[in-house]
Structure 1
């Protein structure tokens, strides 16, 4: 859903499109996207970050810049304390990040500040209407109504949907890939394919039970409207 939305933004906006990927050191969604990508992520400093493989290091930063041609910059920083210029990005994407942030309102406020008028915020977070919070680094899981409230504090047009079906195929799809484990890798790939079909069935965006994520888009007021299905909901 995230990559599809990003491609839609590229079609609807004049090139070059500038994208800020918050917490995007592992994000596959902006790989190969023909845009100027800036990644910002927290430096890896704590034991919890190390245990959960969170945050960014110098080695990770250099690897990203070496492997990806669309990277404009890789920044070490906290989005709630950002010194990025105001109105400098067409799109901000944040995949499974907001649940880690203590000052969530400040985080969303900064996202709005760095977006250009008419810019779009695309994000995902665990579905608090269904998924229990057992992660030691998650500050909270949002119910749909709660996420709507946070986003509407700083954006006029907001859309929040349920996404990603749960179940057996999602679980096997989460297993790691390795050339040393070809059977596990094949099962994981198959699980992801089946889960993609399950997650695209009609009506799933309104299904609170059985879905594992919330998918949201929010549009900053001003500028020319970019039509890609965003609406207040």
Structure 2
């Protein structure tokens, strides 16, 4: 099995179904019904390619668990939730989630989203450094370097930054960015995109030549010295 998935779901029936379906589809699966067990088996985090996390769990909610995972791994993750409220989706995306799916969900839809995330997250192993003004960006390490400072960013922030830098001086529409990064143009994803742009501006604020401009009614434009 090439890819291994961490599944954290406290509903035993649903967890069993999803585990079996993912394994039948060729994935290795480590399933935990208690999020605290994940933190006590941290070695698991070294060997996973994707985390699927239920939001509403009694001992620790999925958002808190994802924060702990992100301290140790840049693995992409997807939230499962029984809530249809938009606030959950926005919060999940702000935390850097690569996708979100409401329960009850069809295993086929989950598999499609899993494959899409894994496809998007595949990056060539490279030590390539992208010079952005006085900053250095290491895409494969999810790091931005400035003088003695090192900023570790999320995979989604790295994907966005790559897309923007290869289109230096060009205007990219919101629709184009959303479809390339998430595979769909959605209002709530658009809200998350705004959050990511705000973060990028903060990372690069020490070099006034670097600009992440909003183009009203269209999208965004990044400009930095060639």
Decide: shared fold, TM above 0.5: no
Q: TM-score, normalised on structure 1?
A: 0.33
Greater relative CO (CA pairs within 8 A, separation 6+): 1
Q: TM-score, normalised on structure 2?
A: 0.33
